Amino acid sequence: MSYRLKLLSALNRLIAPSHAELVDRAELHALRELRGASSAFLAPSFRSSELPDNASAYLRPINPRLQELRQLYKHLNHPAADHSLWAGSYLSDELTWKFFRGDNPYVWQLRRLPQPEAKYALATYYARSIDKLGLFAALNEDGAFGAYTYTIGGTLVSRDFLDSIIEINFLEQQLGLSRLAALNVLDIGAGYGRFAHRLVTALPNVATVLCADAIPESHFLCEYYLRFRGIEQQTKIITLPEIDIALSAYPVGLAVNMHAFSECTLSSIGWWLNTLQCHRIKFLMVVPSPSDHGGTKLLSRERNGERLDFLPAIQDAGYKLRIRAPKYAADHTVQKHAYFPTHYHLFELADR
């Protein structure tokens, strides 16, 4: 930890009884921008004070661990790091570090969402109706790190919470996920680790979730968040140079990509698909961003903004589409009116 970070941490411990906190100018500016955004982004359930001890001191752009990761990725000439959307100042302009579970590039929650409470209520009752695994009892939401929440039917919910329940139940329906012994899962574009957290908490048969992301800030947040959740023994956060070694050590049966390929170039997606094929990963779940096609298409995002169909690349890698289903598959009305509807694509690697 740098001298500056140690000093801020020490001073904050001294003034803690006064319920005050020292922050650096960059963080203060970001927080003011968040507070000054549209009122739609400031749901009453946003609780900025609910942070664990030392979170404010650790979750800063000056953290030495983050600087180390940035240096590592800066000097990589790796195909998966061929960025389009996640380049330049995109993340730094959008992210408030202490509130990395808020409405930001990792998880949109309220933006472009009229009447969000009604849409979340609809999704909540839908998720309950299809929850064959009983995940509403197994999982919980605490609103930590700025997640926007609603209390619906007596349960505190967020997009993180509800999306995870719907995704896991989809995989259970299609693959019998809870009955696959000692399952290793690869999460491509893991972000801050929300799916890994939910998956290992929900299913004791999941041995390890490998979390990979081509963005150093994501690696940093994922390390912190999964350690905070106490599941670092069941998860492994891997850098791009470590992926082949990790996949050899942890034979993976399922790879998931939640919205990430929609923000990647075709060349980056192609590298991942080649890697999955080489390691004979049997199943691949892709969740595209809905955009203007409702998630029915699989489109990349190129540096020039062009969107290219990457379904042929998946097929060229030997994967056949097993099913494409609406996110809210059991109810057409919910698919039309609940928050952020998309389609789930599940692929299976064909036998040689």
Stretch 115-133: mean pLDDT, rounded? Answer: 97
Please check whether residue 281 is in contact with residue 186, taking contact to mean a CB–CB distance below 8 angstroms.
yes
DSSP state of 284: E
Beta strands 183-188; 206-212: pairing state:
parallel
Please give the single-letter amino acid code of residue 228: F
Residue 298 predicted with pLDDT over 80: yes
Please check whether residue 11 is in contact with residue 22, taking contact to mean a CB–CB distance below 8 angstroms.
yes
Residue 45 predicted with pLDDT over 90: no
Token code pair at residue 244 = 């082949």
Token code pair at residue 103 = 């409405």
- Count of alpha carbons within 13 angstroms of residue 86, beta-carbon side: 25
Which residues in 196-213 are b (16+ Cβ under 10 Å) and which e? bbbbbbbbeebbbbbbbb
Q: How far apart are CA 237 and CA 229, in angstroms?
A: 14
Residue 35 predicted with pLDDT over 90: no
Q: What is the pLDDT of residue 112?
A: 87
Please check whether residue 109 is in contact with residue 159, taking contact to mean a CB–CB distance below 8 angstroms.
yes
Residue keyed to tokens 């995109």: 90
- Please report which helix (H) or strand (E) contains residue 156, including its range: strand 155-157
Give the SS3 label for residue 40: helix
Q: pLDDT tens across 138-156, in order?
A: 999 999 999 999 999 999 9
Q: What is the pLDDT of residue 29?
A: 45
Stretch 303-325: mean pLDDT, rounded? Answer: 97
Q: What is the pLDDT of residue 44?
A: 39
Residue 17 predicted with pLDDT over 90: no
Q: Give the domain CATH number at 53.
A: 3.40.50.150
Q: pLDDT tens across 218-232, in order?
A: 999 999 999 999 999
Q: How far apart are CA 137 and CA 133, in angstroms?
A: 9
Please check whether residue 8 is in contact with residue 22, taking contact to mean a CB–CB distance below 8 angstroms.
yes
The structural domain count of the chain equals 1
- Minimum mean pLDDT range among 2-11, 78-87, 172-181, 273-282: 2-11
Q: How far apart are CA 222 and CA 243, in angstroms?
A: 16
Stretch 166-182: mean pLDDT, rounded? Answer: 98
Q: Could you tell me the residue range of the domain that residue 315 belongs to?
A: 1-352
